[in-house]
Chain A
Amino acid sequence: MSFTENIAKQFALIGNTNVAELRKNAFTAFEKLGIPSSRHEEWKYTNIKTKLNEQLSLTPVDSQVNTAVKNYISSLPPYSFRIIFLNGVFHSELSIVPQMKGLTVCSLKEAFTSNSSLVEKYFGKLVNYSEEHFAALNTAFVNDGAFVHIQKNVLIDEPIYIQYFFTASDVNAFAQTRSLVILEDGASIQLAEDFRNASNISVQYNHVSEVYVGKNASIDIVKLQLEVSNAIGVDTLEAQVERDGKFSAATITFSSPNTGTGKALIRNNVTARLIGENSHADLNGLYFGKETAHIDNHILVDHISPNCTSNQLYKGVLDDESTGVFNGKIFVKPDAQKTNAFQSSKALLLSNEASINSKPQLEIFADDVKCSHGAAVGQLDENALFYLRARGITKQEATQILTYAFAHEVIEHVHSKPIRQFLCDRLKDELKVNF
């Protein structure tokens, strides 16, 4: 059975369920787009076609909760909100969802019936499924995910923790998960989405998050990909920010030593559309590549309205045979006067087999703007190393300290205190530093 036949057959099985019309359109778009090869400009440095399995199974499998999942959940900080998915299926027995006024947190499947008018209004309206290969596939096949709706002027202090576990027993499984986050005017929230391979075999997933930020609303979202060395993951985050809104996102990717399947490939697409005046986007990323991991960050900040600002800071540390890709685009549309947009991408190469491909891009159509980008690739500052060594610190320790300092700058941008602390600890573990 050919790739397309296989996908078409599976699509037919979904039947006439919720958002059927949208699914159909998205599927038609996907049939046309297919899986991108490296000939596609946006996939130039990431050849996902050769890495994905030929026969994909897109139907969700309900799996048993294994000890790895249980152990990880118990290691998490005591979050008051915890939403757990296993292979794209919601597990209420593992989740904690307290009732709070003005806040709806539930599974997307439930929201399709309980909040159908909201879902219909917002679902699939942000992602460009006619051009984005994986957003199209996800929109057509999505089964479940998280739904977060926060009402006008409601402020939530506690971070909402959404955990996607993958333990696929079927090597062909390609989980399609999705988050829909809607902030009404003046609302504020912190959110973490954690993706984790909780098995010892390779997993594949395709996640889409759509985030609507209302007027004067603010969101701080953290994507955690801390155990992805044995995974192929595509993550698409699309946000739309209205007047005076603030959107802040951090993507943290660690690929720790794996079992050596050589298939770790992570692609993050982050898009922020600043549609209202005086809105702001803050996009940060940190990635650690080891062994043969391939980590690709694709960022697009679209300045559509005047007086908006955006900041991007991406940092990578690449070791062994890992490869990093950074593609950051800043678009300034003709109406977006008085835009300030900044971007910085830095990468450290620790091994001669590691490589980085960087493409920071500016496309400016308005004149009264201040835009800049900087990209640097190199090694740790010799002078800084010397300074530390002159004070009796070993070369190895000095390297660890400086790498920690290099990476920590990104983590500082995470607003939520418990998540920031959690990441600091994880970074210390990664670099084996104690202080």
Chain B
Amino acid sequence: MADNDKIIDEVVANDYKYGFTTNIEQEFAAIGLSEETVRFISAKKNEPEWMLEWRLKAYSAWLKMEQPKWQNVHFPEIDFQSIIYYAAQKKKKVINSLDDVDPEIRATYDKLGIPIQEQKLLAGVAVDYVMDSESVITTFRESLKEKGIIFCSISEAIREQPELVKQYLGSVVPQRDNYYAALNSAVFSDGSFVYIPKGVRCPMELSTYFRINAENTGQFERTLIIADEGSYVSYLEGCTAPMRDENQLHAAVVELITLDNAEIKYSTVQNWYPGDKEGKGGIYNFVTKRGMCRGKNSKISWTQVETGSAITWKYPSCILKGENSIGEFYSVAVTNNYQQADTGTKMIHIGKNTKSRIVSKGISAGKSQNSYRGLVQVHKTADNAYNSSQCDSLLIGDKCGAHTFPYLEIKNKTGRVEHEATTSKIGEDLLFYCNQRGLSNEEAVSMIINGYCKEVFKQLPMEFMVEAQKLLSISLEGSVG
């Protein structure tokens, strides 16, 4: 047992490996939030009038809203007037090749272990880096353009694709959807926009790396992905953030739309700064992610690996409106030390013969709290809807907590909903078996946990799968239940 304690101590003492800051000259909006701030951001982005109005509408809705209190995470009240809502890099030069990128930023990427050239050359990934709020570089744009795929920053899309943006922005997550979505709608500074035209299968995985970089700057990303009829796209999102003492707020909004026979696969690996081992600092990750299967036979699949953030609070959801549409949610959420996670999904069945699948794996260690919260709703119109949910929780140590809050609301007699959840620790017999075969406790636990999460990991694209496994061992290596 003493051995175990030592290992646990070591793990808990594990410092955040990606904590460092980059010095880049920034241009800030005045501190605090007012109508002025919204106008400032909109003006900074050279946005058309309709966009400013859209933002202001969100802002006035936000003013009337109250912060939600139902969540199973606790944090001191956020002072929205002490946040800087806009920070852009000052140097605005045209970037043609990677060599033109600020060497500081390049160094950051290297420290993160993102082999940008290699990715570009070998993996064929077009990367849209977002350093704070401004897109730095977009690669592979030309080759995507050939197929008619639009992959650019949302600000650019607002300027250049106003019709698409007008039609779809806020169509899945309306401005007044919830407190943080309203805030995001008012002040979002940048994010990604993807449009896949009819019948096109995106030839490569699209990916974005977000980093929060300026102190006291909340980051409000906005992502909009539209898959037109018969198209397919796989989108990856990965995050790491530098070490900070003060809590930082991240309130992003992601909207996905699939039309007839289209499919979107959205994968996230999130490893933001979780705070130190006393629970000080760390990122607040309050995200609204929602996909709408509008068309027949369309499909949206969410995969997430959440290891970072002091507080993770998000529910990537699917509205299954089109007939025969499919929603999927695969999640691994790991919490250690004082981290808190309240995450899950919503599957709203509206169309006939819609199907959804939920696989959620929660791992809690240290003094953390990990919650799964999910909603499966079968509307009257959703004949033959089918949902299967599997939510497993693993507890490592006796000071953490695991919670499951599934809501099942069925209003159609032909609906079939199956929900199963289990909570347990790593079986001693499993550990013993591994020990017997010469594996140390640490190796055995890592192996068992990786096996436990495999169902989710195998949904990730190759390069993410490797990264996810690495993250998991960093977060938990040596923990023995």
Contact = CB atoms under 8 A, between A and B. Distances in A.
Contacts, number: 118
Interface string B408-431: 111111111111111111000000
B282 interface: no
A359 B410 CA distance: 11
A352 B413 contact: yes
Interface in B365-401: 380, 393, 395-401
B412 A337 contact: no
B416 A41 contact: no
Interface size class of A (residues with CB under 8 A): 20 to 34
A354 B413 contact: yes
Contacts of A358: 406-410, 419
Interface stretch (A112-120, A371-379, A386-394, A411-419): A371-379
Contact of B408 (A334, A337, A375): A375
B288 interface: no
Interface string A362-403: 111111111111111111000000000000000000000000
A364 B410 contact: no
A310 to B, nearest CB: 13
Contacts of A357: 407-410
Contacts of B423: 362, 364, 369-372
A385 to B, nearest CB: 14
B419 A369 contact: no
A350 B421 CA distance: 26
Nearest to B424: A370
A351 interface: yes
A54 B398 CA distance: 49
A366 B398 CA distance: 5
B403 A364 contact: yes
B404 interface: yes
Contact of B405 (A359, A366, A369, A376): A359
Contacts of A362: 393, 402-404, 421, 423
A360 B418 contact: no
Task: Give the bracket for the number of chain B residues in contact with chain A.
Answer: 35 or more
Interface in B245-271: none
Chain A interface SS verdict (over half): strand
B407 A349 contact: no
A368 B424 CA distance: 7
A379 B398 contact: no
A53 B84 CA distance: 53
Given A357-B408, A376-B419, A379-B414, A367 B403 contact: no
Nearest to A372: B422
Contact of B418 (A354, A361, A376): A376
Contacts of A349: 410, 412-413, 415
A251 interface: no
A418 B406 CA distance: 38
A132 to B, nearest CB: 19
Contact of B409 (A355, A366, A373): A355
Contacts of A347: 410
Contacts of A364: 393, 395, 401-403, 423
B384 to A, nearest CB: 10
Contacts of B411: 355
Given A352-B380, A355-B409, A373-B404, A367 B398 contact: yes
Nearest to A337: B398
A364 B380 CA distance: 34
A356 interface: yes
Contact of B425 (A367, A374, A379): A367
Residue of B401, B413, B424, B481 with most partner-chain A CB within 10 A:
B413
B424 A369 contact: yes
Nearest to B386: A378
A350 B415 CA distance: 11
A394 B418 CA distance: 29
Nearest to A329: B405
Contacts of A369: 395, 423-425
Interface of B: 70, 380, 393, 395-425, 481
Q: Sort A-B residue pairs by CB-CB distance and give the 9 closest, nearest first.
A: A367-B395, A349-B413, A358-B408, A362-B404, A378-B416, A355-B411, A375-B419, A372-B422, A371-B423
Given A347-B410, A358-B408, A372-B420, 13 more contacts: A351-B413, A357-B408, A361-B406, A365-B400, A367-B397, A367-B400, A367-B425, A370-B422, A371-B424, A375-B417, A375-B419, A378-B418, A379-B416
5 contacts: A334-B398, A349-B413, A359-B405, A362-B421, A367-B398
